[in-house]
Structure 1
């Protein structure tokens, strides 16, 4: 794979030129960006997946408890078309796996999907009049002018160290980080020192108006099933366990499971993988199947003994205060 990426370097140069040209046309307002009266908070990244966007949206929903919040997502790989609002009859095929995961967790929140973000926001304003819209995975979609932009980048692969697709993972230009109000370094070690935070901040070279925050993943103490049943780690001992991942970056998840001292076979699939009947049959040979929340919603009801592990972003008190203040200033 690495050799193929190196061979594809000329293609990445063409891609880079196209991305830079597109952004330039937005910068000079040849292409227009639409703003809205409703505060719009954009959460996104410069790379392809794996930075923790969905847990970040969920974190913001918790911070905004008590306010009338709506989530708008593209609904990647969904089977439906156009604007669609989630309801009790929705499923992962209609909404996409990540929006369906969020709706399951926060059914009281308005959630909609629409590849046309402008159309989606207009419909939300017309139908529910939210106090704030959380725009999921939209940093590179410049047709909408957000009120606040939150850019995510991972500790293990900062956007400063990356390169354009297909040689690297960047889908947007590094210089577009200038549009972010907040830059969040995700998936940090739990014990990241202040010295390392300063070093990373210096490397990212934020502008005077930008703030750099740091988060790490906090995993739930036990596994869950769809029925609400929990499973302790010691119940996996001496069991034949499959750990299934269909996410962009499974390394932190797998590292956490390895720390629990039970034996498992890791079956890794591509991001947003749609599990076939044959693959599900293979999983039935295991005593237990452990997976991520995102993968769980695509396999729910198709396997017995299927459990998932919840994950959340965790910030220091000072960084959470910064984030909370930025949001409340919009309301």
Structure 2
């Protein structure tokens, strides 16, 4: 049971969960209709608010779809953007106009002709994608697990090992967007941010907990983060210092839900984080934020951030504030434990054939 304030908030959680349960029931019995499309929809989502690792898993999925010869598109809500309505990302856009995660997808995949769109109502976004780009063969939905107005062909549920949904409570007592029973809609569950050496016994213990809520035939996979070589921020190359071959003092700048794993990785590599400028998820950085960061920085110290945060740091209004700062992104990718990657790859062809 939760303790303290969370315990006092439980009645509100029960009320919120009941409202969502009725809404889900209406979709389950088809009194409310979920729209389907001429191409498959592959959804990557979660039950918990923020921080389960959706972005690197979407990237993994898109990379795999490209490898299989598909023409994928990515559809996101575009959280935090300054625009509204369905919108296709283009070269004139930015994190401000489409959101930080969609802009990260666009920058990473535009050269490979992966179309990125944002829409609060995903059905409108899907219609826009298929109208403007009829060559699309599959749409990857980023964070649409609770968006029941569209029907995914494959529903991928993520849950973080350190904060699993089966130990959490519905808002406001906990961080769940809906009750744990929502896991029954998943076609595959991925436990994220695992240590690469997570034992088989520990994995099975987690599976036992998940099985209380998921369908019995649904695969439960485990994934870990892989951190790539630091990359200089694009417009900082002329002024940035090379990362020292021997790790030493460093500064960390984050505006993501769960920065802990990145900090742990840097410390494992030998960096001593002298200052961590930690902001809320999707935070819109200001010149004052960067000036405050500079006050804690000393020449020779690298400043690390995430690819997602970099999309907002590159805003034109921050150019003067970040001039001369050695800013580096740490690319994060997904590696599956055991045969998890093989299992997920095998689930894709049947899902892709569903709407053919």
Q: Give the structure-1-normalised TM-score.
A: 0.93
Q: How does 1:45-64 map to 2 (within 5 A)?
A: 45-64=46-65
Of residues 282, 295, 298, the one that matches 2:292 is 282
Residue 190 (structure 1) aligns with: 196
**Are 1:313 and 2:334 matched, yes or no?**
yes
- In structure 1, how many angstroms separate the alpha carbons of the residues matched to 2:247 and 2:226? 21
Deviation per CA, 1:176-204, whole angstroms, max 9, x where unpaired? 11111110000011101112111111111
Contact 2:247 2:269 in 1 (8 A): no
Corresponding residue of 2:281: 271
Unaligned runs of 5+ in 1: none
CA distance in 2, matches of 1:78, 1:231: 33
After the TM superposition, which parts of structure 1 deviate over 4 Å for at least 4 consecutive aligned residues? 227-231
RMSD of equivalent CA atoms: 1.9
Aligned length: 328
Is the 8 Å Cα contact of residues 232 and 328 (structure 2) preserved in structure 1?
Answer: yes
**Once the 2 structures are TM-superposed, how far is the Cα of residue 226 of structure 1 from its aligned partner?**
2.0
Q: Distance in 2 between matches of 1:151 and 1:260?
A: 31
Q: Deviations over 1:259-294 (max 9, x none)?
A: 122222112111111122221211233244211111
Deviation readout 1:194-245 (Å, 9 max, x if unpaired)? 12111111111142331111100011133432259695454663x5x32111
TM-aligned CA deviation for residue 7 of structure 1? 3.7
Q: Is the 8 A contact 2:247 2:270 kept in 1?
A: no
Matches for 1:1-331 after TM superposition, within 5 Å: 3-65=4-66, 66-107=69-110, 108-129=113-134, 130-205=136-211, 206-226=214-234, 231-232=242-243, 234=245, 237=248, 239=249, 241-264=250-273, 265-285=275-295, 286=297, 287=299, 288-300=302-314, 302=318, 303=322, 304-316=325-337, 318-329=339-350, 330-331=352-353
Which stretch shifts more, 30-39 or 161-170? 30-39
CA contact (8 A) 1:233 1:260 kept: no
- The range that moved more, 285-294 or 122-131, is 285-294
Quote how far apart the aligned CAs of 1:255 are.
1.0
Structure 2, unaligned runs of 5 or more: none
315-324 or 127-136, which deviates more = 315-324
Cα deviation, residue 9, structure 1:
2.7
